[in-house]
Structure 1
Amino acid sequence: MLPLLHLAHRLSLHGLTITIVITPKNLTYLSSLLSSHPSSITSLILFSLLTLPSLPESKTSKTSATLVELSALPGSHVFKSNHLPSLFRLYKKSDPDWEFIKDLKLANTKNWGCVFNSFDAFEGEYMDYLKKKLSHDWIFGVGPLNLPSPENLGSESDLNERLLTWLDECPKASVVYVWFGSQKLLKREQMEALALGLEKSGTRFVWVVKTGSTQAREDEFENVPDGFEEQVASRGLVIREWAPQVSILNHEAVGGFLSHCGWNSVLEGIVGGVVILA
């Protein structure tokens, strides 16, 4: 969602009038954007239950080690089938819900043009491939979209003053930033392994931990091992709330980013000029 808000900001600077369709719980993400562009950007709020009929039921799919070769793509990449996006792994032929989703995706190729949150120097060969595949040149890399946007776009949270003050006191490029995204909870054994690695590394770090539900915490997801924070208090911070990732990655004290490599994180790491450990 955030890259789309950044794109809306960019487009509004060129005099376009924009309507953003959104559900009530996500409306807070628009606050700073609407206040920055009161005359050019408006919101259209749906009652969120209306969106449910267009979504397929959640289905469990068996993962497989079968290799899938995408020979037409530059580089002829080969993936394990369970490494492909969930849209491909869960798709069921002849299922009405999934056929509807597939038709929507294919309809996108018939648009006048496509914009991507990427840039030519990074993925130019893939955008050239799309131009050839779609038989037109209306393929645009407009990213990284977060560069010219208001720094606090998409969140009401204030920058964590304690965090930034702590970074100010650290030597240049001495801190590793750790964040694995908001889409998947880490299990207890994964958290313990990560904590042990950070402890034995001897390096400074900022570790952002997703705040899961009460049930998730009871099931031992995303729980930092007991005593870990006290053991590393002199050189590490554990953050359990929203963290200003763009500000962190652009701080001169941060030299590395331990990441799950979600697209937002990849682009923000590139903009910050930090080494990404995938």
Structure 2
Amino acid sequence: MEVSGTGEHVLVFPYPAQGHMLALLDLTHQLANRGLFITILVTPKNLPMLTTLLSAHPTTIKTLVLPFPSHPSIPPGVENVSDLPFSAFNDMMVALGDLYNPILDWFRNHPSPPVAIVSDLFLGWTHHLACQLGIHRYVFSPTGALGLSVINSLWRFLPKRDDPTNNNSLISFPNIPNCPTFPWWQVSPVYRSYVEGDPTTEFVKDGLRANLASWGVIINSFRELDRVYFDHIKAESGHDRVFAVGPLLPSAKNTTERGGSSSSDVLSWLDTCAAQTVLFVSFGSQFVLTNKQMEEIALGLERSGVKFVWAVKEPTGGHAAEAYGKIPEGFEDRVAGRGLVVRGWVPQVAILNHVSVVALLTHCGWNSIMEALMAGVLMLTWPMSADNFSNAMLLHELKVGIKAYEGAETVPDSAELAQLFRKSVSEETRVERNRATEFAIAATEAVGEGGSSWKDLDQLVLNLSHT
């Protein structure tokens, strides 16, 4: 039986990027189920993402809605990273830092203020706020233990290239188990943008280093998946307040939805397909493919002969509409009946759990990995940026992923893709598919009553209740 909290009040502060918000809102649902009272801090444009969660917990979850601070690099009305080019990522962190004093005033005027803050790893400045308030801050990592280990190591040791002009210079992390090594171009673009003395990137560095000093660490993963890296974080933290609480996914009753209302069209089409025959192609909520990439993927799907669902993200404010996200003319007619193209949001969790789906071509975002692992789906890896590369490395280590391509600028070869797509639904990938099934069982057991993530959630609630 799950632990019930003492009714303590906690502030939850998600970072406004869909991949970050969804996981922390799923955690919030779990904390509310265990008896905590929670205030979620959001800006006005992000409030609709809380609708289902708030209706499920009308008495225990409240909101603190603060105006989004203005910033010269962020257009008025934009309050989510998903609507910005990556060049504005650091500016978003700086802009949100201006909420420090409004939050401080809210705490000091609240009749029963929170006893702790749980905030995203890109909101590291909230550690300083918590220290000023005399309470504890817990950093929430929406990526796994390996990805977090790499982030922590980058900002702790500040490694540099041997040759500042060579984007293929190797950066090694000897302090991390298995000594991961990446070429410079695969290192976090947030880190690569760091310039000593620059106010914006110095602010980013200070925040990410503050994570290392925070009272507790919460990771959206499960110990059976990346135990060696989880143990590494615990050892480097110097305490036991490191909690693996994943996979954080919506409840079976859809208490928290992930990004949109459910659609029956895709699922109805999947119902017409035989078991283990459909490839799902999805690059998450952030990445928009170039037209050339779209063309080669389309040709690969067409030549492969496999059944597929392709989730296409259309261009946003950071993309030239004419150069991105275009489906080749006539493609949908040529694959009618065998493939389905879906524009915009799709019910990804439901698709991955459909009996007909066998593999996922993915950018290796951590939410997608958690969803695919929980569903027992093989992954074809095409990491694009940030933690995607360390995530892909983990999938290859565990033999639940097969390499497709690397890099957001890479244009694939349609013939190679066609061969990979055919392989993914064939007996050639039986070993990897069996491994995926094994991890699906492990993930289900971890979040089930008495499992490792269940116990860590209980322990987290006890910690939050006795801060």
2:311 partner amino acid? V
From 238, 241, 257, the equivalent of 1:135 is 238
Structure 1: distance between partners of 2:173 and 2:317: 42
1:3 partner amino acid? A
| 1:206 paired to 2:309 | yes
C-alpha contact (below 8 Å) 1:63/1:82 kept by paired residues: no
C-alpha contact (below 8 Å) 1:164/1:248 kept by paired residues: yes
CA distance 1:217–1:93, change in 2 (3 Å): closer
| 1:34 paired to 2:54 | yes
- Partner residue in 2 for 1:191: 294
- Partner residue in 2 for 1:45: 65
2:30 partner amino acid? R
From 188, 191, 196, the equivalent of 1:85 is 188
CA distance 1:217–1:8, change in 2 (3 Å): same
CA distance 1:211–1:45, change in 2 (3 Å): same
C-alpha contact (below 8 Å) 1:256/1:274 kept by paired residues: yes
Q: Structure 1 residue 83: deviation in Å?
A: 0.4
- Matched residues, number: 275
- Partner residue in 1 for 2:446: none
Q: Secondary structure at the match of 2:30?
A: helix
1:33 partner amino acid? L
CA distance 1:65–1:111, change in 2 (3 Å): same
Question: How is 1:60-209 mapped onto 2 (pairs within 5 angstroms)?
Answer: 64-146=167-249, 148=251, 150-151=253-254, 153-154=256-257, 157-209=260-312
Q: Structure 1 residue 157: deviation in Å?
A: 3.5
Q: Give unpaired runs (5+ residues) of structure 2.
A: 1-20, 75-90, 96-163, 382-467
Identity %, equivalent residues: 41
Q: Structure 1 residue 207: deviation in Å?
A: 0.2
2:224 partner amino acid? A
Structure 2: distance between partners of 1:140 and 1:277: 29
Structure 2: distance between partners of 1:169 and 1:137: 49
C-alpha contact (below 8 Å) 2:22/2:259 kept by paired residues: no
- Partner residue in 2 for 1:3: 23
Structure 2: distance between partners of 1:62 and 1:32: 49
Structure 2: distance between partners of 1:44 and 1:181: 28
Q: Structure 1 residue 147: deviation in Å?
A: 5.5
Q: Structure 1 residue 150: deviation in Å?
A: 4.6
Q: What is the Cα-based RMSD across aligned positions, in Å?
A: 2.2
Structure 2: distance between partners of 1:77 and 1:188: 33
**Which structure is higher in helix share?**
2
CA distance 1:156–1:54, change in 2 (3 Å): closer
| 1:248 paired to 2:354 | no
CA distance 1:83–1:268, change in 2 (3 Å): same
Deviates more, 1:100-109 or 1:171-180: 100-109
- Partner residue in 2 for 1:224: 327
- Partner residue in 2 for 1:272: 375
Q: Structure 1 residue 182: deviation in Å?
A: 2.2
2:306 partner amino acid? T
Structure 2: distance between partners of 1:78 and 1:156: 34
Structure 2: distance between partners of 1:257 and 1:147: 19
Deviates more, 1:145-154 or 1:196-205: 145-154
- Partner residue in 1 for 2:45: 25
Q: Secondary structure at the match of 2:371?
A: helix
Q: Secondary structure at the match of 1:8?
A: helix
Deviates more, 1:104-113 or 1:67-76: 104-113
Q: Give unpaired runs (5+ residues) of structure 1.
A: none
Normalising by the residue count of structure 1, what TM-score does the alignment of the two structures yield?
0.92
Q: Structure 1 residue 254: deviation in Å?
A: 0.5
Q: Secondary structure at the match of 2:369?
A: helix
Q: Structure 1 residue 197: deviation in Å?
A: 0.5
Q: Structure 1 residue 153: deviation in Å?
A: 2.0
Structure 1: distance between partners of 2:310 and 2:350: 15
Normalising by the residue count of structure 2, what TM-score does the alignment of the two structures yield?
0.56
Q: Structure 1 residue 151: deviation in Å?
A: 2.5
Structure 1: distance between partners of 2:238 and 2:349: 37
Structure 1: distance between partners of 2:318 and 2:196: 35
C-alpha contact (below 8 Å) 1:5/1:154 kept by paired residues: no
Q: Structure 1 residue 115: deviation in Å?
A: 0.6
1:102 partner amino acid? K
Q: Secondary structure at the match of 1:109?
A: helix
C-alpha contact (below 8 Å) 1:256/1:275 kept by paired residues: yes
Deviates more, 1:243-252 or 1:109-118: 109-118
Q: Secondary structure at the match of 1:256?
A: strand
